[in-house]
């Protein structure tokens, strides 16, 4: 895979265990249109603070990333280290320092080992190549079970553009191994202001609609870089070409976000919570999110236990008015509930599938929304508790 206008590099700097890629670099041949969304956590890692300020200009020449250490809760030293990373990357690729962003993922509360990070950036810069996408996608991982990439090609008038995404990390997979990071690069030409608006909107219906444990990391970041090297005319509004590009971006973000859930902490099931018949979409989303956050519901998913009462009770915690007696609840195509005797075994069979949908119809309006989540079982506890003791 090549994304015209970009080179990718990766290097094993020894931040993680020896020989594993842990520093990544994407460099734009010429300054690219850029947009990003960041964590809403009040505790923001140093790289988030640095990158948030820099992406505001709407133009970036590159992004430097390290895994193995999140550079979060590291105080003034952390900010100095994040800036030193961008300086080193900028120098290595011949870009202005202020045009380079930075992202980190890994352990919280430990200063970056700069004696490894800085040589790592040199190494990643030396490895920059048009073919480097897969290495980049590998170097950003922490304890992910697999690389997470998705590529869409879309025709904009006479030109074809590529939209390539790479992501890491299903929430807080391992102790202090926080963070979702995603990077999308495209050779489409896009006006920065519209790119920012489109990214926000599409992230809201993709990454913001998946949930592993409800914890928001200190480092979550999604970046989009657009080089324009396809030669397609610049996109700047929701005309036909703009809608095609949005569709491609949405597909990339949607697939990446579902890969995150499937790789959640020991997850065995990807469960889509679909709420229909809510007063409006916001209410539907709130109900779906409350169900997806409930430890009682998630342990029932782990045990394939069609505990419909728990799901209705969790829905009742969202503050959205509905009549419990009128609710319809389906596990895929199997109806469950008080009125349906004998559905237990059918619902149990559905819940043994690796993917299924729980559909809750509230009969209280026309709002609908869905959240993808996973089960919470013994593997989650093992991964998250049995770390340093």
Residues that bind its own copies (CB under 8 A): 41-44, 72-76, 107-109, 111, 172, 175-176, 178, 213-218, 293-296, 299-300, 302-305, 307-310, 312-322, 324-325, 337-338, 344, 348, 376-378, 380-382, 384-389
Q: Which is nearer to its own copies, 324 or 354 (CB)?
A: 324
> CB count, 10 Å around CB of 388?
6
Spatial distance between the Cα atoms of 211 and 60, rounded to a whole number of angstroms: 30
Spatial distance between the Cα atoms of 39 and 148, rounded to a whole number of angstroms: 20
Closest CA to 283 of 321, 310, 329, 326: 321
Min dist CB 133 to its own copies, Å, is 30
Q: Which is nearer to its own copies, 26 or 108 (CB)?
A: 108
Min dist CB 252 to its own copies, Å, is 27
Spatial distance between the Cα atoms of 181 and 253, rounded to a whole number of angstroms: 11
Q: Which is nearer to its own copies, 21 or 336 (CB)?
A: 336
How many DSSP H helices and E strands does the chain contain? 11, 14
Q: Is 179 a catalytic residue?
A: yes
Min dist CB 180 to its own copies, Å, is 13
Spatial distance between the Cα atoms of 81 and 12, rounded to a whole number of angstroms: 19
**CA 141, 86, 161, 130 torsion: positive or negative?**
negative
Spatial distance between the Cα atoms of 253 and 206, rounded to a whole number of angstroms: 6
3-state secondary structure 120-178: HHHHHHHCCECCCHHHHHHHCCCCCCCCEEEEEEEEECCEEEEEEEEEECCCCCECCEC
Min dist CB 305 to its own copies, Å, is 5
Supply the Cα-derived Rg of the chain in whole angstroms. Answer: 22
8 A C-beta contact, residue 81 and residue 52: no
DSSP designation for 190: B
Min dist CB 200 to its own copies, Å, is 19
Spatial distance between the Cα atoms of 100 and 86, rounded to a whole number of angstroms: 6
Distance, C-alpha 136 to centroid of its chain:
16
Q: Which is nearer to its own copies, 99 or 269 (CB)?
A: 269
Min dist CB 368 to its own copies, Å, is 19
Angle at which helices 281-293 and 295-302 cross, to 10°: 60
Q: Which is nearer to its own copies, 61 or 66 (CB)?
A: 66
Q: Which is nearer to its own copies, 197 or 353 (CB)?
A: 353
Class of residue 19 by CB neighbours under 10 A (exposed 0-12, middle 13-18, buried 19+): exposed
Spatial distance between the Cα atoms of 336 and 314, rounded to a whole number of angstroms: 16
Q: Which of 39, 105, 149, 179 is catalytic?
A: 179
Min dist CB 104 to its own copies, Å, is 13
Q: Which is nearer to its own copies, 66 or 304 (CB)?
A: 304
Q: Where in the sequence numbering do the catalytic residues fall?
A: 179
């Amino acid at each position: 895979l090549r994304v015209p206008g970009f080179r990718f590099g990766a290097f094993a700097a020894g931040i993680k265990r020896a020989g594993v890629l842990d520093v990544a670099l994407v460099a734009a041949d010429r300054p690219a249109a850029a947009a990003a969304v960041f964590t809403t956590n009040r505790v923001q890692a140093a790289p988030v603070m640095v990158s948030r300020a820099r992406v505001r200009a709407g133009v970036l020449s590159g992004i430097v990333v390290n895994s193995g250490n999140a550079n979060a809760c590291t105080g003034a030293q952390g900010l100095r280290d994040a800036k030193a990373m961008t300086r080193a990357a900028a120098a290595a690729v011949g870009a202005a320092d202020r045009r380079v962003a930075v992202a980190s993922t890994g352990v919280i509360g430990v200063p970056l080992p700069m004696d490894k990070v800085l040589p790592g950036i040199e190494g990643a810069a030396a490895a920059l190549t048009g073919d480097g996408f897969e290495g980049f996608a590998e170097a950003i991982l922490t304890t992910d079970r697999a690389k997470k990439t998705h590529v869409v090609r879309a025709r904009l008038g006479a030109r074809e553009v590529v939209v390539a995404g790479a992501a890491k990390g299903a929430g807080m997979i391992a102790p202090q191994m926080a963070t979702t990071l995603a990077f999308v690069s495209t050779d489409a030409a896009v006006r920065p202001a519209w790119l920012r608006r489109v990214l926000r909107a599409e992230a809201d219906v993709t990454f913001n609609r998946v949930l592993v444990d409800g914890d928001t990391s200190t480092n979550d970041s999604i970046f989009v870089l657009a080089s324009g090297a396809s030669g397609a005319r610049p996109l700047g509004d929701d005309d036909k070409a703009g809608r095609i590009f949005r569709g491609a971006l949405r597909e990339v973000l949607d697939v990446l976000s579902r890969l995150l859930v499937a790789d959640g902490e020991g997850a065995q099931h990807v469960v889509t919570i679909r709420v229909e018949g809510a007063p409006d979409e916001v209410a539907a989303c709130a109900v779906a999110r409350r169900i997806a956050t409930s430890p009682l519901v998630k342990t029932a998913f782990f045990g394939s236990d069609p505990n419909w009462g728990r799901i209705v009770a969790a829905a009742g915690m969202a503050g959205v008015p509905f009549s419990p007696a009128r609710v319809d609840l389906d596990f895929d195509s199997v109806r469950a509930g008080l009125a349906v005797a004998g559905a237990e075994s059918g619902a149990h069979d559905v819940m043994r599938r690796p993917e299924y949908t729980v559909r809750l119809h509230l009969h209280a309006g026309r709002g609908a929304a869905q959240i993808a989540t996973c089960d919470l079982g013994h593997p989650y506890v093992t991964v998250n508790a049995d770390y340093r003791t």
